[in-house]
Structure 1
Amino acid sequence: MEETRRVAVVIHPIRPEAVTAAVEFIAGMRRHNIECVVEANRFDEVRAQLPDAYISPLTIDSDVELIVVFGGDGSMLRASEWALPRGIALLGVNLGHVGFLAELEASEIRELIEKVAGRDYTIEKRLTLGARVFDTDGTTLWTSFAVNEVSTEKGSRRKMADLMVSIDGRPLSRWACDGVLVASASGSTAYGFSVGGPVIWPNTEVFEVVPIAAHALFSQACVVAPTSQVELQLVGDLATDAVVCCDGRRGCDLRPGFSIVIERYPQDLRIARLSEQPFTTRLVKKFGLDIEGWRAPKHHLRA
């Protein structure tokens, strides 16, 4: 009996070029007798362009071998909500600005079709984070996972958040700040990079704690072990409401006395890679780094 193969397709919710690229990919999958299930919010648009293709909407019961995402890193994070609990790998086609999680660009659809059809890809595992919010009596109020980061930020523009930071049950520092970011290696090139955190190679099993605009003598980013537990507690006379948010998508309001515990999530995110591209090469390419910098020979300018 011939194997039935299915691939899920997740499409950027707004960009029309994402639908165009997805339609080309789905048509290629049809030539290889591979079925596609399409995220519901753009299913009708794809069906209108491929009326004869065997496609169906992506549902909670869909049985797929791979999820192909047409968009930027934001679309990858959205798709991870479906993929992570099921242990299904994501393969990103970048239509955004930087796209560190994505594997290739939209112009490479033909290569993508052949690689997916031949299962010619490897799986890279990424550490993810889990967050739990507790009220003043220790009751668990909210839980979530995060692929990139768990951000705890002040709830009022007029006041700072007063956060006691503890690592593995021992106090590290109390920061009056705009917030504290706990980021995975994947998130180190996103929000973590933007607030001055170090760039961490994605195959490094660590995560980082980065204060945001802290009014403190010690306010350095800290890199901790994958077994570490980070606790943030709203304390002190400055205590005001705050908010915790995972990947900028799922959040919870915090009150004075509440605490947030962040540690490694039990499941890693699975990313499909089509080729061996060292992270150093990816970093230079994505940020357009001038490798030689000011030491490069300079041509004399003509008057």
Structure 2
Amino acid sequence: MDTQNVAIFAKVHDPRCQDVATELISWLERNNHVHLIEEHLARHLGRTDGITREEILLQAELVVVLGGDGTLLSVARLFYGKELPILGINLGSLGFLTEVTVEELYPELERCLAGTHTTSPRMMLEVRVLREGKQIEKYPVLNEIVINRVGVLARIVNLKAQVDHHILTNFKADGLIVSTPTGSTGYSMSAGGPVIHPQVSCIVITPICPHTLTNRPIVVTDQSVISITVTSALDDKVYLTLDGQVGFELLEGDSVEVRRGATSTHLAVPKNRDYFEVLRTKLKWGER
């Protein structure tokens, strides 16, 4: 088996993640592979061989994520455009994305290193923020974006939504979610959106507590370009949140443009596990 550069990302403040990361580094060294860890993680592990994220992006051939879905979401955005296999090890709670157990770590890692692994491609979104018609920010997203008002009082936000330059509607709601099929089991599902199989090519638009009760979630083709414009901000702040982790303040008149990303995230998954098994297990379907 040829030597490979394996990037390791972990939930740094979690003692269990630190222990597994230390064991993983030792395993890679014994098997003549190179480990790549960023400086922040290296310090928490008491090591001095950490490198920058930029160096990791240049050198990595395989990515291992130790933690929960939040850790994997940040790594997926970091490696957007690289299309490397990402092996997510569940050391969190729910683990829709990090579905490989600790017990499965080394067998699955060996398959990845041998090139015999199974991958589940996950659609990404590219999100642009436009102010006065000019792009001021651009982000990749794996799960969803959320636009909502943040203030002392609970108030609705007015948002004009368009699909391929056709007006969808003017939403008056607590907010609006635009999600991928992967993100359909997250915030969108909690807001009444449908569960979408991750291999279905579509984008889901889900209003959050709409003032008009007939405003329902809508599924559009993955070739659609969705534009959402803030039509009233009043005294409260309106925020764009990406994957629940990155936030950006929007002003009245700002538009958020969402389209399918040019590349996908490739999750390494156990060979004999199917998506419906994951749904049943994680959502406890069929249990009383």
Task: Give the TM-score taking structure 2 as reference length.
Answer: 0.91
Aligned equivalent of 1:268: 264
- Give the secondary-structure state (helix, strand or coil) at the position aligned to 1:154: strand
Aligned to 1:114: 110
The Cα shift of 1:113 comes to: 4.3
Q: How many residues align?
A: 285
Q: 2:53 maps to what in 1?
A: 59
User: How many angstroms apart in 2 are the aligned matches of 1:3 and 1:107?
Assistant: 24
For 2:229, what is the secondary structure of its paired residue? Answer: strand
User: Within the alignment, does 1:153 sit opposite 2:148 as a pair?
Assistant: yes
3-state SS, counterpart of residue 257 of structure 1: coil
**3-state DSSP of counterpart to 2:80:** helix
Q: Give aligned-pair identity as a percent.
A: 26
Per the alignment, residue 76 of structure 1 pairs with 72
Pairwise mapping of residues 113-152 of structure 1 onto structure 2 (< 5 A)? 113-135=109-131, 137-152=132-147
**Contact 1:241 1:256 (C-alpha < 8 Å) held by counterparts:** no
**Helix, strand or coil: the match of 1:267?**
strand
Residue identity in the other structure for 1:264: R
Shift >4 Å, 4+ stretches: 236-240
Distance 1:141 1:14, change over 3 A: same
Whole-angstrom distance in 2 between the partners of 1:45 and 1:174: 48
Matches within 5 A, 1:26-105: 26-47=25-46, 56-57=50-51, 59-62=53-56, 63-105=59-101
Residues 1:254 and 1:44: Cα distance change in structure 2 (over 3 Å): closer
The CA distance in 2 between the partners of 1:288 and 1:122, in whole Å, is 25
The alpha carbon displacement at 1:27 in A equals 1.9
Q: Of 250, 256, 262, which residue of structure 2 is paired with 1:254?
A: 250
1:12-43 CA-to-partner distances (Å, cap 9, x unmatched) read 12211001112222222222111111132221
- In the alignment, the residues of structure 1 paired with residue 109 and residue 168 of structure 2 have an alpha-carbon distance, to the nearest angstrom, of 50
Per the alignment, in what secondary structure is the counterpart of residue 183 of structure 2? Answer: helix
Conserved in 2, the CA contact under 8 Å of 1:83 and 1:89? no
Please state how far the C-alpha of 1:236 moved relative to its aligned partner.
5.3
Counterpart residue number, 1:299: none
The verdict on how the C-alpha distance between 1:124 and 1:209 changes in structure 2, with shifts beyond 3 A counting, is same
Select between 79-88 and 15-24 the one with higher mean Cα deviation.
79-88
Aligned-pair CA distance for 1:276: 3.2
What's the CA shift string for 1:219-256, capped at 9, x where partnerless?
Answer: 10011100011111122597964111111222221111
Question: Partner letter of residue 197 of structure 2?
Answer: W
CA distance in 1, matches of 2:199, 2:120: 8
1:289 is the counterpart of 2:285: yes
Any conservation in 1 of the 2:77–2:142 contact (CA below 8 Å)?
Answer: no
Which residue of structure 2 aligns with residue 18 of structure 1?
17
Q: Which structure would you say has the larger Rg?
A: 1
Q: What is the distance in 1 between the residues matched to 2:123 and 2:105? A: 28
How many Å separate the matches in 2 of 1:107 and 1:185? 28
Q: 1:116 to 1:58 in 2, by over 3 A?
A: farther
| Contact in 2 for aligned 1:32/1:117 (Cα 8 Å) | no
Instruction: Give yes or no for contact 2:77–2:141 (8 Å, CA) kept in 1.
Output: no
For 2:260 and 2:36, locate their aligned partners in 1 and report how far apart those are by CA, in whole Å. 31
Q: What corresponds to 1:298 in structure 2?
A: none
Aligned-residue Cα RMSD (Å) equals 2.2
SS of the residue 1:275 aligns to: coil
Q: Is the Cα–Cα contact under 8 Å of residues 29 and 117 in structure 1 kept in the other structure? A: no
TM-score of the aligned structures, taking structure 1 as reference length: 0.87
Classify the secondary structure of the residue corresponding to 1:104. Answer: coil
Whether contact under 8 Å (2:233, 2:252) holds in the other structure is no
Q: Does 1:214 align with 2:210?
A: yes
Go from structure 1 to structure 2 and tell me whether the alpha carbon gap of 1:22 and 1:138 turns closer, same or farther (over 3 Å shift): same
Which residue in the other structure is 1:9 paired with? 8
Output aligned runs, 1:166-245, within 5 Å: 166-235=162-231, 241-245=237-241
Could you list the runs of 5+ residues in structure 1 that have no partner in the other structure? 294-303
CA contact under 8 A between 1:239 and 1:256: conserved in structure 2? no
Distance 2:4 2:215 in 1: 51
Higher strand fraction (1 or 2): 2
How far apart are 1:80 and its partner, in Å? 1.5
Q: 2:250 and 2:264 mapped to 1: Cα distance?
A: 27
- More displaced stretch, 269-278 vs 254-263: 269-278
Give, in whole Å, the separation in 2 of the partners of 1:176 and 1:255.
17
